[in-house]
C-alpha cells in the first residue's frame, strides 16, 4: 500500500504551476497530472520525469493561418476562372480562343490565374477588342460572381478589371 499512500500525498499537493488549480490524473496510473482549467495553457506534468507540457496555442495559430488562406484561395481561383471562361464562350468561340491563346502566349497563364493577375485579362481585352467587349465581359463576370463579391479577393479582382486607367 506504500504506492497508494505516496500517490495520495502527491495528488494532494500537486497544483498547476501556472494557475494553481489542483492537477488531476485523468488516466489513473499514467502518472500524468492534468490541469483542467480551460483557460490555462498548462496541460499536464509527467510525475515520473517531472516533464511539463503546455499548449502551444500561439504557435498553432501562426502555422495554420497561411494554410487556411491557401486552401481558401483555390476555390476562388476556380470560381473566377470558370466565370471568365463561361462569359467568353457565351460571347463567341473566337473571343474565347483569342483571350485564352493570348493568356497562354503572353503570360504562360490560363483563366484560373486571373484572380491573382486581373491585369492579364484587362490588358488582353484592351489590346485586342473594342471597349464595348470589355464592358460586356466585365458585366457578365460580375453577374456570375455577384453573390461571391463579399469575398475580398473577388471584389478586388472585379475592381481591378473595371479600372479605367
Contact between 45 and Zn ion (CB under 5 A)? no
Q: How far is the CB of 42 from Zn ion (least distance, A)?
A: 4
Among positions 9, 19, 62, 78, the unique one binding Zn ion when judged by CB under 5 A: 19
Cβ atoms of 100 and 111 within 8 Å: the answer is yes
Classify 20 in phi/psi space as left (phi over 0), alpha (psi -120 to 50) or beta: left
The alpha carbon torsion through 56, 59, 65, 70 (nearest 10 deg) reads -110
Binding mask 23-42 for Zn ion (x = CB under 5 A): ------------x-x--x-x
Cβ atoms of 125 and 133 within 8 Å: the answer is yes
Among positions 16, 88, 124, 161, the unique one binding Zn ion when judged by CB under 5 A: 16
**Binding region for Zn ion (CB under 5 A):** 16, 18-19, 21, 35, 37, 40, 42
Amino acid at each position: 500500500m506504500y504506492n497508494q499512500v505516496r500517490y495520495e500525498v502527491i495528488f494532494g499537493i500537486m497544483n498547476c504551476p501556472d494557475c494553481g488549480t489542483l492537477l488531476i490524473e485523468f488516466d489513473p496510473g499514467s502518472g500524468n497530472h492534468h490541469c483542467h482549467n480551460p483557460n490555462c495553457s498548462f496541460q499536464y506534468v509527467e510525475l515520473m520525469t517531472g516533464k511539463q507540457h503546455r499548449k502551444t496555442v500561439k504557435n498553432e495559430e501562426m502555422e495554420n493561418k497561411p494554410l487556411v488562406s491557401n486552401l481558401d484561395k483555390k476555390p476562388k481561383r476556380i470560381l473566377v476562372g470558370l466565370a471568365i471562361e463561361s462569359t467568353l464562350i457565351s460571347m463567341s468561340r473566337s473571343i474565347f480562343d483569342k483571350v485564352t491563346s493570348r493568356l497562354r502566349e503572353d503570360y504562360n497563364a490560363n483563366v484560373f490565374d486571373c484572380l491573382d493577375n486581373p491585369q492579364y485579362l484587362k490588358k488582353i481585352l484592351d489590346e485586342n477588342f473594342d471597349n464595348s467587349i470589355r464592358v460586356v465581359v466585365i458585366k457578365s463576370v460580375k453577374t456570375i460572381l455577384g453573390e461571391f463579391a463579399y469575398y475580398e479577393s473577388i471584389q478586388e479582382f472585379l475592381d481591378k478589371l473595371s479600372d479605367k486607367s
